[in-house]
Amino acid sequence: MKKMTLALLTGIAALTLGGCGSGDSGKDAKDDGKLVISTFGLSEDIVKSDVMAPFEKEFSAKVTLEVGNSADRYMKLLNNPNAAIDIIELAQGNAVSANEDDLFLELDESKIENVANLTDGAREIFDAGAGVPYTLNSVGIIYNKEKAGKEIKEWADLWDESLKGKISIPEITSTAGIPMMYLASDVAGVDIASDNGEAAFKEIEKLSPNIVKTYSKSSDLANMFQSGEIAVAVVSDFAVDIIKGADEDVTYLVPESGTYANYNTINIPKNSKNTDLAYKYINHRISQEVQTQTASSLNESPTNSTVELADDVIGNMTYGAVADRAKNIDYTFVNKQLDSWIDQWNKLLNQ
């Protein structure tokens, strides 16, 4: 039951890295130029043209993709560790769970030259053993100033009584759900790990009169803005353009006090039969050239610190000054609390 509950944490979601356990290095000799990659099913055509095709050309490889959401693919690997998967890309929370389940090889940094170029935040995730981060997102506030009736600058502003019945926040099982818990604890002035989220829930209870409803999908949030049902929301950066398409008068901001990051990470399952080629793929995926391209074509925030993006590409990405104030989430801690947190959340907000 615990594994099935953890599987709900799709964006954490989250949102992202490397494994424990050791693999048989002798498998490298069996590499046959074929690589099976389990990844997200978003913008598949662009992923193939901008990520996979250059890799296939450079290394005379043949890539096969198995796509789906992060939680489902994590559970598939958990239930069948012998699945013919050479690389798996997961949201950070799922990657940490899979690492704890001993599903990954312990990554050899000497085989991934570009790890040396990871940003400080991404390097922290890698060192924690969750895999190699290749992109990240973070949360901010999006609002219609006229309908909100006030200017919003900081997270604590969401608790203002004038916003009663005007706010939507993410479901705890959505990508921005766990960051919402961390932010609520910050508003309370309490380290979330010190009380296992108790102060966060007290703050969310105080916020509840302002909450119209929670949301799981960005499209649902866009519909609520379009209909005028809400004026303010806590949202992941990748959903901002969708909402602006529904309400052109909204403003997105990341408070100066900071935000929280979710990473997507890459790992090699223990039973990969093409580990040498898998290492080459990881190095390719976090290279300056590829990350510069995917920032533009896939709106992926880079984790390679040598990537320099033009202003018209950056948009709402977690990059530059925003990335500098984006704090990391400890999903080893989170996953231990998650069953209890989901239960408390549902009792408080979904009755």
Looking at the structure, tell me whether residues 111 and 127 fall in a common domain. Answer: yes
Q: Is 221 exposed, middle or buried, given 0-12, 13-18 or 19+ CB atoms closer than 10 A?
A: buried
Same domain for 247 and 271, yes or no, is: no
Listed residue (333, 186, 335) closest to 260, CA to CA = 186
Both 90 and 177 in one domain: the answer is: no
- Count of other CB atoms within 10 angstroms of residue 216: 17
Residue 193 CA to its chain's centroid (Å): 20
Q: Do 132 and 142 belong together in one domain? A: no
At residue 32, the pLDDT reads 74
Nearest to residue 140, comparing CAs of 243, 230, 226, 210? 243
Question: Tokens 């290279």 identify what position?
Answer: 287
Distance from C-alpha of 20 to C-alpha of 23, rounded to nearest angstrom = 10
Residue 301 contacts residue 292 (beta carbons within 8 Å): no
Measured distance CA(131)–CA(11) in Å, rounded: 16
Q: Are residues 13 and 151 both part of a single domain?
A: no
Domain assignment of residue 351, yes or no? no
Question: Under a CB-based contact definition with an 8 Å cutoff, are residues 241 and 298 in contact?
Answer: no
Report yes or no on 342 lying in a domain.
Answer: no
Predicted confidence at residue 223, as pLDDT, reads 97
Question: Are residues 45 and 85 located together in one domain of the fold?
Answer: yes
From 104, 106, 134, 140, select the one nearest 121 (Cα to Cα). 134
Residue at which a domain ends, from 232, 260, 288 = 260
| CATH code at position 182 | 3.40.190.10
Contact 132, 107 (CB under 8 A): yes
Please indicate, yes or no, whether residues 202 and 216 belong to a single structural domain of this protein: yes
Residue 346 lies in a domain: no
Give a yes or no: residue 341 inside a domain.
Answer: no
Same-domain pairing of 35 and 125 = yes
- The pLDDT, as a whole number, for residue 2 is 40
By residue count, the chain amounts to 351
Tokens (6 digits) for 286: 């976090």
Q: Does residue 71 sit within a domain?
A: yes
* Sign of the alpha-carbon torsion through 149, 154, 155, 156: negative
Q: Computed over its alpha carbons, how large is the radius of gyration of the chain?
A: 20
Of 209, 228, 260, the residue that ends a domain is 260
Residue 168 is part of which domain span? Answer: 138-260
Pair (166, 236) in one structural domain: yes
Q: Is residue 348 part of a domain?
A: no
- Say what the pLDDT of residue 42 is: 86
Q: How many domains does the chain have?
A: 2
Residue 339 lies inside a defined structural domain of this protein:
no
166 and 77 within one domain: no
pTM higher than the cut 0.75: yes
* 175 touches 11 (CB < 8 A): yes
- Same structural domain for residues 271 and 236? no
Structural domain ending residue among the three candidates 210, 240, 260: 260
C-alpha closest to that of 18 among 106, 84, 109, 85: 106
Per-residue pLDDT tens digits of the chain, which is 351 residues long: 444 444 444 444 333 333 333 334 334 435 678 999 999 998 999 999 999 999 999 999 999 999 999 999 999 999 999 999 999 999 999 999 999 999 999 999 999 999 999 999 999 999 999 999 999 999 999 999 999 999 999 999 999 999 999 999 999 999 999 999 999 999 999 999 999 999 999 999 999 999 999 999 999 999 999 999 999 999 999 999 999 999 999 999 999 999 999 999 999 999 999 999 999 999 999 999 999 999 999 999 999 999 999 999 999 999 999 999 999 999 999 999 999 999 999 999 987
Task: Decide if 349 is inside a domain.
Answer: no
Q: Are residues 191 and 96 in the same domain?
A: no
